[in-house]
Amino acid sequence: MGVLIERPAEQPAERPVERPASSSQMHHQLLYVMYIILYGTLSLAGICAVAMFMGSNVAKDIRSLTDERNMPPLLPRTTPTEPAVPMPTGAPLFDLPRSHVGDVPYGVPIFTCANPGQIALTFNEGPSEWTQTILDALDHYDFKGTFFIAGSAPTDPNNNSSARHTNVDDPGTGWPALLSRIHESGHQIASHTYTHARLDGDGGAEALVNEMVYNEMALRNAFGLIPAYMRPPYGVWRDPNVREQLEGLGYHVIMHNLDTHDYEHDGPEEILKSVDMFNDIVRIDGNGSYIVQMQDSRQWTAMVLVPAILESMVQRGYQGVTVGECLDDAFFYWYRQPEP
């Protein structure tokens, strides 16, 4: 099918542990001790001196073994933590059947489309006040996009943890109507966790499941369906425990092979670097295959970057499709029904 699956990056080699003292060095140390004993100078101070002398190499070896730089990476702790926000309203979905259907793999990071000539434009961290602008641009070109939604994300576009949270299923926010527009216009809605949390954090498996299921409940409340596609915040996918949990929950894990870095270029002039990055990477002949990462929570992405990318795609002959389309996945596999 042509789906590119990247192997986890090899861990850097550990710094060699320093070797203990050689036998000749130990021999000299013993001679030194015998010398002190034979000449009757083994006072209390002498004992301390010998202990310090003999123990210096041992202490050095212990420090080397316990140095963080010589230790393998610690596995995430699994102590449950209280959710940062309350559970969304409605029936919980923890026991929802999660069958694996279709040919797209589950729990495995996917980086590119299956077919040349297709580009899947993807947007993280929404919805926001700029999502409507992006939708207008996509609709103008009759291209489709994929929106990775965080159901209770901070209103601050920089995801400041102190910012007030807003829930996508709260009718007073206007987000349910916006999600309905996304869905009814043929775009794809996917999960970006409930609170934009790292999935390899201290909360372990329980926190991961809460993040995913809470988001399912919020999206169900907002537009009636549950996504089978997700993108982990901060690109956390290498942890095998995370991948195993996401596979068990029935999620396709979508990464990207073109990151515009618009989160680093959030200004009217700076965003042109992201435009140049896209144009430099994408093949001119229209035969490339890309999953492009952007953020729909940023003004200059909506006002400058997206229109420039869409115009470039037209000029180079690319189709603008959803992630599900670019992976040849049937539409009815993109979502689950909220009832068994």
Kindly list the domain boundaries of the chain, sorted by start residue: 23-70, 109-336
Q: How far apart are CA 179 and CA 185, in angstroms?
A: 10
Confidence band of 202 (pLDDT split at 50, 70, 90): confident
Mean pLDDT across the chain: 80
In this predicted structure, the answer to whether residue 34 has a pLDDT above a threshold of 80 is no
Residue 155 has a pLDDT of: 55
DSSP structure class, residue 264 = G
Confidence band of 85 (pLDDT split at 50, 70, 90): confident
Confidence band of 110 (pLDDT split at 50, 70, 90): very high
Q: How far apart are CA 193 and CA 215, in angstroms?
A: 6
Q: How far apart are CA 193 and CA 238, in angstroms?
A: 17
In this predicted structure, the answer to whether residue 28 has a pLDDT above a threshold of 70 is no
Rounded (10°) CA dihedral 91, 93, 94, 98: 150
Q: Which residues of 84-107 are buried (b: 16+ CB within 10 A; e: fewer)?
A: beeebeeeebeebeeeeebebbbb
**Alpha helices by DSSP H, the chain:** 23-38, 44-66, 131-141, 175-184, 204-223, 240-248, 271-281, 299-300, 306-316, 323-326
Mean pLDDT of 313-321: 98
Q: Check residues 179 and 86 and name the one with the higher pLDDT.
A: 179
Domain 109-336's class? alpha beta
Reported residue count of the chain is: 340
Confidence band of 156 (pLDDT split at 50, 70, 90): low
